[in-house]
Amino acid sequence: MGDSPEQQCLRRVWIPIVLERVAVFLPVNEVAYTLRLVDKATAEQFRRPEFCIVRLSQPVPPHAFAWRWGRPGATRELTLAKRRQLLTAASGSVANLRIALSGAGCEPNKEIAYAAGKGGHLDVCLLLEQLGFSLGDAVEGAAAGGHLGVCQALLARPDVASSNFDCAQAAAEHGHMVVFDFIMQRSAPLPPRSDQLWSHLEAVALGCDLATLKRCTGEWQLNPSEWDDRDTRDEHLDGMYLRRILARAAGSPTPDWKAKVEWLESCGYPPTLEAFQQPGYLKRFFEKHPLLWT
pLDDT of residue 284: 54
pLDDT at 93: 78
How much is the pLDDT for 191? Answer: 87
Helix (H, G, I), strand (E, B) or coil at 190: coil
Please give the domain boundaries of the chain with CATH numbers for all domains: 110-188 (1.25.40.20), 195-292 (no CATH)
CB 168 within 8 A of CB 180: yes
| 19 contacts: CB under 8 Å, gap ≥ 6 | 35, 42, 45, 46
Per-block average pLDDT, block size 10, for the chain (294 residues)?
Answer: 55 69 74 72 73 68 73 76 74 78 74 90 90 89 96 91 93 96 92 90 96 94 77 64 90 91 90 60 52 46
Q: What is the pLDDT of residue 207?
A: 95
The rounded distance, in Å, linking the Cα atoms of 5 and 163 is 63
Look at residue 289 in the predicted model and tell me its pLDDT. 47
Which amino acid is residue 1, in one-letter code?
A: M
Quick check: 264 and 241 in contact, CB under 8 A?
A: no
